[in-house]
Amino acid sequence: MRFLSSESIFNGTEFLNKNSILVINEKNQFIDIIEESQLDPLQIERFDGIITPGFVNTHCHLELSYFQNIIPQKTGLVNFAKNIISKRSQFSVEQMNKAIEQADSFMENNGIAVVGDISNTNLSFKTKQKSKLYYHSFIELIGLNSEKKENILEGGIALLKELQNLGLIGSLAPHAPYSTSVQLIEAISNYNSKNNLPFSIHNQESEEENKFLQGEKSEFYNLFEFLNIDISWFKPKHRSSLNAYSSFLKSKKNILVHNTFTSQEDYGSVGSHVFWCLCPTANLYIENKLPDYDILLSNSKQICFGTDSLASNSNLDILKEGSIFYSKTKDLGLSLRALTYNGAAALDLQENFGSFIKAKNTGLNLIEVKQDKFLLKEVIVVADRLSLLV
Ligand SMILES: [Zn+2]
């Protein structure tokens, strides 16, 4: 047994009383919280800082790891997408695989226990199979033309089955409202809710997205022209992009990613089964703008964080994302909760991760808060998803 004590201990949802001792066994599984007075002081390991459960990175694209330091910053979402499309053929499969392996190790070394990860192909599946991290893979589907809905859905289900046959967990996810027809979004949502799986979508990352769905002049028309895709048949919804599909958010957990241009009205139009995933570094990298956290928090505290990909982030350090949110809001409890319990709950993994759970190893991190910044001092215990399967 190990008896751990620190200046403070955060259990995923709240700080424990002073003098609380965390008890873990030789398999690094959580056993109990006890009072310091119950122990001989010599038995206690003392730490300086805040002990937390392992972190959750709710939104990542492991597959795009080879884009680290390649894409120019602050050019807007449409130019970002054009850069991704035109540069992606420069890399060999070996380079891509190596970058994926390195990104996976980086996350393990930085206290991350769980990742909600977007997959467009099977490129990252082998790494995920070997990893200590628990990945929930969102098989991402794209297709604005509703006539192709059935084929795209079938392809997505086939890739999801391939993932599941490797013993990995996943569900389907539409890419974004500007790239996926509402009919396909609805079909994906139906599939996930029928199978009791979480749903995820990129939401309102750019103002151009709202304009596109509203029927205004939008840079997205340039993107489709660049891609040589005829969208003359496209009928705008004359609503904000969230409003165009919010009635299809039917899963018990729905993760809306980015929300940089989400309005008060938009927040009011969805229910409590929505988690707002914030990726501040990626937002600054691409659009140089953050969501209005005051408006968001006046509507919901159900927030979590994502690093997005190495195409729009210098590293996959989820604590840095929490740190940016904390420096703007000064809400320490909510920032830590979003890094741990909320992320796990968004992925419907709250029974296994995000807090201290009896007989489970959910990871233990030691952090400190210095000049409004979170710093990782030590990963005390690495979470191990494989130990859950035994
Ligand atoms: Zn993303």
Distance 151 CA to ligand 1 centre (A): 23
Structural domains of the chain, count? 2
**Domain check: are 213 and 302 in the same one?**
yes
Pairing outcome for strands 373-381 and 364-370? antiparallel
Distance 279 CA to ligand 1 centre (A): 9
Q: Is the pLDDT of residue 199 over 80?
A: yes
Distance 129 CA to ligand 1 centre (A): 22
Distance 308 CA to ligand 1 centre (A): 5
**Domain check: are 388 and 342 in the same one?**
no
Distance 42 CA to ligand 1 centre (A): 48
Distance 177 CA to ligand 1 centre (A): 13
End-to-end CA distance of the chain: give it in Å, rounded: 20
Distance 60 CA to ligand 1 centre (A): 6
Q: Is the pLDDT of residue 85 over 60?
A: yes
- Determine the Cα–Cα distance for residues 143 and 152; give it in Å rounded to an integer: 7
Contact between residue 114 and residue 134 where contact means Cβ atoms under 8 Å apart = yes
Distance 321 CA to ligand 1 centre (A): 14
Strand, coil or helix: 233? coil
Which domain range does residue 26 map to? Answer: 1-52+356-390
**Domain check: are 45 and 61 in the same one?**
no
**Domain check: are 374 and 316 in the same one?**
no
Pairing outcome for strands 112-119 and 134-141? parallel
Task: Report the pLDDT value the prediction gives residue 369, as an integer from 0 to 100.
Answer: 98
Distance 307 CA to ligand 1 centre (A): 8
**Domain check: are 178 and 240 in the same one?**
yes
Pairing outcome for strands 254-258 and 2-9? unpaired
**Domain check: are 242 and 187 in the same one?**
yes
Distance 260 CA to ligand 1 centre (A): 13
Distance 319 CA to ligand 1 centre (A): 17
Distance 46 CA to ligand 1 centre (A): 39
- Determine the Cα–Cα distance for residues 277 and 274; give it in Å rounded to an integer: 9
**Domain check: are 185 and 221 in the same one?**
yes
Q: What is the CA radius of gyration of the chain?
A: 21
Distance 40 CA to ligand 1 centre (A): 49
Distance 309 CA to ligand 1 centre (A): 7
Task: Report, as an integer, the average pLDDT of 224-236.
Answer: 91
Task: Report, as an integer, the average pLDDT of 373-380.
Answer: 98
**Domain check: are 91 and 31 in the same one?**
no
Distance 114 CA to ligand 1 centre (A): 16
Tokens found for residue 196: 């009791």
Q: What is the mean pLDDT of the chain?
A: 95
How many Cβ atoms from other residues are within 10 Å of residue 159's Cβ? Answer: 21
Q: The CATH number of the domain where 321 resides is what?
A: 3.20.20.140
Distance 38 CA to ligand 1 centre (A): 48
How many Cβ atoms from other residues are within 10 Å of residue 195's Cβ? Answer: 11
Distance 202 CA to ligand 1 centre (A): 6
CA 1 to chain centre: 33
* Percentage of the chain modeled with pLDDT above 70: 99
Mean pLDDT is lowest, of 165-174, 230-239, 291-300, 376-385, for: 230-239
Strand, coil or helix: 33? strand
Q: Is the pLDDT of residue 367 over 90?
A: yes
Distance 74 CA to ligand 1 centre (A): 16
Task: Report the pLDDT value the prediction gives residue 108, as an integer from 0 to 100.
Answer: 97
Task: Report the pLDDT value the prediction gives residue 384, as an integer from 0 to 100.
Answer: 84
Distance 343 CA to ligand 1 centre (A): 15
**Domain check: are 32 and 151 in the same one?**
no
**Domain check: are 115 and 216 in the same one?**
yes
- Determine the Cα–Cα distance for residues 326 and 45; give it in Å rounded to an integer: 29
pLDDT digits (tens, 9 = 90+) for 118-154: 999 999 999 999 999 999 999 999 999 999 999 999 9
Query: What are the Cα distances from residue 387, in Å, to 27, 89, 264?
Result: 9, 38, 43
pLDDT digits (tens, 9 = 90+) for 249-289: 999 999 999 999 999 999 998 988 999 999 999 999 999 99
Task: Report the pLDDT value the prediction gives residue 387, as an integer from 0 to 100.
Answer: 67
**Domain check: are 376 and 348 in the same one?**
no
Q: Which amino acid, one-letter code, is at 164? A: Q
Residue 390's pLDDT band, with cuts at 50, 70 and 90, is very low
pLDDT digits (tens, 9 = 90+) for 238-254: 999 999 999 999 999 99
Residue 389's pLDDT band, with cuts at 50, 70 and 90, is low
Residue with tokens 């035109």: 86
Distance 59 CA to ligand 1 centre (A): 6
**Domain check: are 217 and 312 in the same one?**
yes
Distance 372 CA to ligand 1 centre (A): 26
How many Cβ atoms from other residues are within 10 Å of residue 216's Cβ? Answer: 12
Q: What's the length of the chain?
A: 390
Q: The CATH number of the domain where 374 resides is what?
A: 2.30.40.10
- 31-51 as b/e: b if 16+ CB within 10 A: beeeeeeeeeeeeeeebebbb
Q: Is the pLDDT of residue 53 over 80?
A: yes
Task: Report the pLDDT value the prediction gives residue 386, as an integer from 0 to 100.
Answer: 74
Distance 25 CA to ligand 1 centre (A): 37
Task: Report the pLDDT value the prediction gives residue 325, as an integer from 0 to 100.
Answer: 98
